[in-house]
C-alpha cells in the first residue's frame, strides 16, 4: 500500500539530552500541528533531523535515538554533523536564503562553501528518502532548507509523487536573480509535481523567475517543464482554530487569564509577539508606539504595549545588535513617558507557553503585527481565533502574507511610523460593534481553512495534479505506443509524413535566419524521401524563397507561408492570389512595437507579417502582445486577414488559407495506409484536427493539443525518425 513520506528539516519529534539520557518531545509550531493527523492516521513516515548533531553522539547513541524515533514516532533521522549544521543551516539557510527571500538583499554572503554544504545536506536527505520510497508513495517536502530535494527524488524515482511547500516568501525576480545558484534552486523545486506557496504574490514571483531564468512558460499556473506539467498554487497555511478559540475555557488558561487581569493596570492593552529577527520590524513597531504616545497623548494608565520577544540566534552579531536596539528603544520610551503608576512598555525577552500566550490573547484589546516581510504570520490568526465572541482589533502589516486573508484588519505600511501610530489610534477608538463585525468575518474564514483543511487541500491538489499529468503522459509516444507506431510504419505500403519545420525538426532560434537545416537533418529527410513508399512533406510558416533556397533540392513536398504556397512534384503552386497591399498599413505599427520592445524584431514574410518576441523580457512582451493584438484586430476587421499567436510570435496572414487546407491536397489521397502529422505550435493544431482519425498526429512538446500523441523535443523526434529511416 502506498505511504506518505513527510520530509522537513526538523521532525515531528525533537530530541534533547538530559542527565538521564535522551528526551523526546513533540515539536512545536504550525507544521507539526498541521501534519500530525496525516502522520498519525495514515501509513506514513517523517524524515528529518533529530535536533542533535550526529558527531555529538556515539555510534551506539545514534542507533538508540534512531531506533526509538522509528518505532515510537514513525520518524527517520538524517545525520547532520556540527560542521554541516554550521555551514548548511546557520550559513546558507539563515545567512543567504532567509535574508534574500525576506527582501534584505545586502545581508547575504554568497560563499560557494556554504552552497556546497547545502547541496551535501540535501543529498543526505535524499539518501534517506531513497531507502524508504516505494512505487506509488507520496513525498511531501517542506521549506527552504530542502529546495534541491524534489529534483533529486524525481530524477531517481520518476514515478514518485512529489509535493513541495515553501513556508517563507518567494521573492520577486529582481531579488531572486541575485542568488548565484538561482537556476539550480529553480530546477530543484521543479522536481516537485506541485509547488505550494502561502500567497498568490509568491506564486507569481516564482512563475516569473522560472520563465525569465529557465525559459519555461506557464498556462493557468501549470509549467511545461521537460516532459511534465508542474503546478504552482496557493495554500495559505491555517492554524488549529478550535484549539485557540476554546483555549480560554480550559482551567489552566482560565487561571492565567485571571492572573493577567488582576495585574492589569490600563484600559487598553496592546500586544506584540515575535521572534527576535530583523524581518519582524520590532524597532519600527516601538518607534510607532512612541509616535502614538506623542501624537495622541493618551492619559497615563490608559494604554500599554506588552511586547514579547523570543530569543533567536543569540550568537550572531547581527541579532545581538538588534537586541541592543530593542532594549534601548524600550528604555527610551519608558524613560520619556512613565509615571510612578504607569509603564507604557512592558517588555519580555523570553518564550511564552501556549497557556501564557492564550491568556494574553484573551486580555489584549489590540494585536500589533508590523513585520517588514513575513511568509504568513500565524500569530495574527491565533489572536483572531482567540477573540471568538469578543471584541479586539488586529493592526497588521501589509507585507505579511496573512494580510491577503485578514483584510478586515487595520492594514498598515510597516515602514511608516506615522501610519502605524494612526492605525493604533483607529484600533483604540473603534466601536465595539465594528470590532465584532470585522472579527466574525475573519473568524469564519479561518474556521473553514484551518490547518487540517490546509494539509488536506494540498494533498488533494497534488493528486489532481498527478491525474492531470497522466492525462498528458498517456499520449507520450514511447514504450508500447512507440512500438505500435514502428510496426504500423513498417507494415504500411504507402505513407504520408507531414513534418513541421521550426520547433519540430529544429529547435527555435532567436533569429529565424539562424535556423538552417543542418547536414544531419538534410540526410535524414533525404533517407526518408528515398523510400518509395514515403511521401515526405515539410510544412512551415517560412516563405517560398527560404524553402526553395534551403530545401528545394530534396525530393519532398513543401508547404510554405502557412499554406499559401505548395510545391508538388517539383513545381510551386499558389493556393490564393498574391495580395499584399494590406502589409503597407500594418507593417509600420508592427515595426513600432519591435522598436519599443527590446529583444523583439519585425519580419516581413512573403504573405504574412510577424512580430517575434522570443528574446524580449517575458513580462514586457506579455503586455505588448495584448496591446498589439488589439490594435491589429481592429485594423483588419473588414479584411480577410487573421491575427494569431504562434510560439513567441504574433503573426498576421490571410484567413483564406492555412496549413490544413494545404495539407488537404495530400490528405485527399486514399492510397495512404499510414499518415503522420507532426508540429509544435498553435498553427499546427489545424493540421492535426484535419488529419484522418487513423493518422499518427504528434505534438512536439507538452501542452493542450488536438494531436493524439506528443514527443518531448525536436531531438527526440529526429531520433525516432532516424529509427524509421
Closest Cα to residue 382, out of 400, 407, 361, 399? 361
Cell numbers at 722, concatenated: 532516424
* Intra-chain end-to-end CA distance of the chain, in Å: 45
**CA dist., res. 301 & res. 94, Å (int):** 41
**CA dist., res. 338 & res. 300, Å (int):** 8
Closest Cα to residue 9, out of 81, 91, 78? 78
Q: Which residues pair with 412 in a beta bridge?
A: 397
**CA dist., res. 17 & res. 14, Å (int):** 10
Active-site residue identified among 79, 500, 680, 681: 500
Cell numbers at 408, concatenated: 478586515
**CA dist., res. 432 & res. 365, Å (int):** 11
**CA dist., res. 616 & res. 696, Å (int):** 35
Closest Cα to residue 54, out of 45, 41, 46, 63? 63
C-alpha torsion angle, residues 415, 416, 422, 428 (rounded to 10): 20
Q: Which residues pair with 16 in a beta bridge?
A: 23
Q: Within 13 Å, how many C-alpha atoms sit on residue 305's CB side?
A: 29
3-state secondary structure 622-645: HHHHHHHHHHHHHHCCCCCEEEEE
Distances, alpha carbon 414 to alpha carbons 328, 380, 420, 655, in Å: 20, 15, 7, 55
**Count of H-run helices and E-run strands, the chain:** 26, 29
Centre a 10 Å sphere on the Cβ of residue 272 and count the other Cβ atoms it contains. 24
Cell numbers at 92, concatenated: 546558507
- For the question of residue 518 being annotated catalytic, the response is no
Answer left, alpha or beta for residue 143, where phi above 0 means left and psi between -120 and 50 means alpha: left
Which residues are identified as catalytic? 500
Amino acid at each position: 500500500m502506498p505511504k506518505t513520506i513527510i520530509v522537513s528539516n526538523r521532525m515531528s519529534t525533537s530530541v534533547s539530552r538530559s542527565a538521564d539520557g535522551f528526551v523526546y518531545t513533540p515539536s512545536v509550531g504550525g507544521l507539526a500541528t498541521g501534519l500530525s493527523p496525516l502522520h498519525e492516521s495514515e501509513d506514513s513516515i517523517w524524515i528529518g533531523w533529530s535536533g542533535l548533531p550526529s558527531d555529538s553522539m556515539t555510534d551506539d547513541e545514534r542507533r538508540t535515538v534512531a531506533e526509538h524515533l522509528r518505532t515510537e514516532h514513525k520518524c527517520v533521522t538524517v545525520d547532520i554533523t556540527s560542521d554541516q549544521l554550521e555551514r548548511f543551516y546557520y550559513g546558507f539557510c539563515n545567512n543567504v536564503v532567509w535574508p534574500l527571500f525576506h527582501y534584505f538583499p545586502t545581508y547575504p554572503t554568497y560563499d560557494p562553501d556554504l552552497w556546497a554544504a547545502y547541496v551535501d545536506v540535501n543529498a543526505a536527505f535524499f539518501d534517506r528518502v531513497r531507502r524508504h520510497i516505494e512505487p506509488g508513495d507520496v513525498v511531501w517536502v517542506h521549506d527552504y532548507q530542502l529546495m534541491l530535494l524534489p529534483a533529486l527524488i524525481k530524477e531517481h524515482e520518476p514515478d514518485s509523487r512529489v509535493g513541495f511547500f515553501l513556508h517563507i516568501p518567494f521573492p520577486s525576480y529582481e531579488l531572486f536573480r541575485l542568488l548565484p545558484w538561482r537556476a539550480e534552486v529553480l530546477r530543484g523545486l521543479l522536481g516537485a509535481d506541485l509547488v505550494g506557496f502561502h500567497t498568490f504574490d509568491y506564486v507569481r514571483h516564482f512563475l516569473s523567475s522560472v520563465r525569465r531564468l529557465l525559459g519555461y512558460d506557464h498556462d493557468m499556473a501549470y509549467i511545461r517543464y521537460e516532459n511534465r506539467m508542474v503546478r504552482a498554487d496557493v495554500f495559505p497555511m491555517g492554524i488549529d482554530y478550535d484549539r485557540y478559540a476554546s483555549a480560554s475555557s480550559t482551567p489552566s488558561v482560565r487561571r492565567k487569564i485571571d492572573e493577567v487581569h488582576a495585574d492589569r493596570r490600563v484600559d487598553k492593552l496592546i500586544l506584540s509577539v515575535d521572534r527576535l529577527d530583523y524581518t519582524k520590524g520590532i524597532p519600527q513597531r516601538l518607534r510607532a508606539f512612541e509616535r502614538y504616545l506623542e501624537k495622541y497623548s493618551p492619559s497615563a494608565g490608559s494604554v500599554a504595549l506588552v511586547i514579547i520577544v523570543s530569543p533567536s540566534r543569540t550568537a550572531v552579531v547581527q541579532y545581538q545588535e538588534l537586541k541592543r536596539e530593542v532594549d534601548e528603544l524600550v528604555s527610551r520610551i519608558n524613560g520619556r513617558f512613565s509615571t510612578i503608576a504607569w509603564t507604557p512598555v512592558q517588555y519580555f525577552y523570553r518564550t511564552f507557553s501556549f497557556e501564557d500566550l492564550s491568556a494574553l490573547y484573551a486580555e489584549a484589546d489590540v494585536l500589533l503585527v508590523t513585520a517588514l516581510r513575513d511568509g504568513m504570520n500565524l500569530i495574527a490568526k491565533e489572536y483572531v481565533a482567540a477573540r471568538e465572541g469578543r471584541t479586539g482589533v488586529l493592526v497588521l502589516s501589509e507585507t505579511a502574507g496573512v494580510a491577503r486573508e485578514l483584510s478586515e484588519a487595520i492594514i498598515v505600511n510597516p515602514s511608516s511610523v506615522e501610519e502605524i501610530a494612526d492605525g493604533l489610534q483607529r484600533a483604540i477608538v473603534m466601536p465595539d460593534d465594528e470590532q465584532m463585525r470585522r472579527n466574525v468575518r475573519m473568524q469564519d474564514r479561518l474556521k473553514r481553512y484551518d490547518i487540517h483543511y490546509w494539509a488536506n487541500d494540498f494533498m488533494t491538489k497534488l493528486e489532481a495534479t498527478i491525474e492531470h499529468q497522466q492525462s498528458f503522459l498517456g499520449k507520450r509516444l514511447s514504450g508500447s505506443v512507440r512500438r505500435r507506431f514502428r510496426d504500423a510504419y513498417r507494415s504500411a505500403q504507402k505513407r504520408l509524413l507531414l513534418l513541421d519545420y521550426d520547433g519540430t525538426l529544429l529547435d527555435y532560434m532567436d533569429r529565424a535566419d539562424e535556423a538552417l537545416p543542418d547536414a544531419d537533418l538534410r540526410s535524414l529527410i533525404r533517407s526518408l524521401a528515398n523510400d518509395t513508399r514515403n511521401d515526405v512533406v515539410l510544412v512551415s510558416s517560412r516563405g517560398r524563397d527560404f524553402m526553395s533556397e534551403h530545401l528545394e533540392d530534396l525530393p519532398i513536398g513543401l508547404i510554405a507561408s502557412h499554406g499559401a504556397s505548395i510545391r508538388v512534384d517539383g513545381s510551386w503552386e499558389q493556393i490564393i492570389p498574391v495580395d499584399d497591399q494590406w502589409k503597407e498599413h500594418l507593417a509600420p505599427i508592427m515595426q513600432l512595437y519591435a522598436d519599443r520592445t527590446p529583444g523583439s524584431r519585425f519580419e516581413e514574410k512573403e504573405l504574412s507579417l510577424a512580430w517575434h518576441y522570443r528574446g524580449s523580457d517575458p513580462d514586457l512582451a506579455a503586455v505588448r502582445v495584448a496591446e498589439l493584438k488589439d490594435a491589429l484586430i481592429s485594423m483588419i476587421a473588414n479584411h480577410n486577414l487573421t491575427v494569431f499567436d504562434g510560439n513567441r510570435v504574433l503573426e498576421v496572414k490571410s484567413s483564406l488559407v492555412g496549413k490544413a487546407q494545404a495539407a488537404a491536397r495530400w490528405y485527399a489521397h486514399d492510397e495512404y495506409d499510414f499518415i503522420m502529422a507532426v508540429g509544435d505550435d498553435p498553427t499546427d493544431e489545424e493540421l492535426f484536427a484535419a488529419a484522418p482519425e487513423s493518422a499518427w498526429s504528434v505534438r512536439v512538446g507538452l501542452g493542450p493539443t488536438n494531436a493524439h500523441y506528443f514527443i518531448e523535443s525536436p531531438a527526440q523526434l529526429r531520433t525516432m525518425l532516424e529509427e524509421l529511416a
